[in-house]
Amino acid sequence: MSLFLQQVEDTYEITVEGYGLLVVLLIAALIAACFFTGRDNKNHFSSKQLVFAAMCVTLAMITNMIKIFDMPMGGSITLFSMFFITFVGYLYGLRAGLTSALAYGLLQLITDPYIISIPQLICDYILAFGALGLSGLFSNKKHGMVLGYLTGITGRLFFSVLSGVIFFGQYAADYGMHPFTYSLAYNSLYIGAEGILTMILISIPSVKSAFNRIKYLANEDDVREKFSHAS
């Protein structure tokens, strides 16, 4: 552990070697996503999909820096950053959503880490952020953007609460609360607040129409291919 993490009081900081490892893992994940194909050899990511997914991850990173409120032990209310990650799943489905969410989690680990142990790192950065990609389950469903967003942030909330119970439960006694109640309240505060603000935004008809238009543009080539095969 000392090669990639160094202890500073009660937390750990990522070493230069650790940052190098994270960058390698991030690149490896993206390369694997680019070249992975299914049985029909058509399931690889196209250049257009990569561009749209990269734009969403970039927007998520930028809006994540605009923090409305910072929590004392990790987590913050940001300017709709979670939405842009769940939007990738809405555009291209589960695999693209999970890949982008995993990349986002690794980027969060690089730029804003809060680490007390390796299991906590995995739970908070890989599983919790990765769960945002579950939005892809509703890619082709009616109201898929809203359902996908709610599913994604619920998945993140689940793993964040789990992490709170296991790794930060000792702080609950300071407030006379059960670890689960404490963790649920703590994580619901920032995830729920951002979720409510985002739901208000994407429920505005003009905003919803704009994002649906983006989805059409992002998948325009596939739509044309289907029509050409049909004719």
pLDDT per residue as tens digits for the range 52-69: 999 999 999 999 999 998
**Domain for residue 155, yes or no?**
yes
Q: If you search the block for the tokens 């969060």, which residue do you land on?
A: 108
**Domain for residue 107, yes or no?**
yes
Q: If you search the block for the tokens 């709170």, which residue do you land on?
A: 164
Q: What is the DSSP letter of 71?
A: -
Q: Are 106 and 29 in contact (CB under 8 A)?
A: yes
Task: Tell me the CATH number at 190.
Answer: 1.10.1760.20
pLDDT grade, residue 221 (50/70/90)?
A: low
At CB < 8 A and 24+ separation, what contacts does 211-220 make?
Answer: 211/87, 211/145, 212/145, 214/91, 215/90, 215/91, 215/145, 218/48, 218/49, 218/52, 218/91, 218/92, 219/91, 219/92
The angle formed by the CA atoms of residues 92, 96 and 102, to the nearest 5 degrees, is 145
Report pLDDT digits (tens) over 158-213.
999 999 999 998 889 988 999 999 999 999 999 999 999 999 999 999 999 999 99
**Domain for residue 131, yes or no?**
yes
**Domain for residue 24, yes or no?**
no
pLDDT at 134: 96
**Domain for residue 154, yes or no?**
yes
**Domain for residue 126, yes or no?**
yes
- pLDDT of 43 > 90? The answer is no
**Domain for residue 30, yes or no?**
no
pLDDT at 22: 76
Parent domain of 126: 47-230
Instruction: Please state the domain count of the chain.
Output: 1
pLDDT at 34: 62
Q: Are 211 and 96 in contact (CB under 8 A)?
A: no
**Domain for residue 36, yes or no?**
no
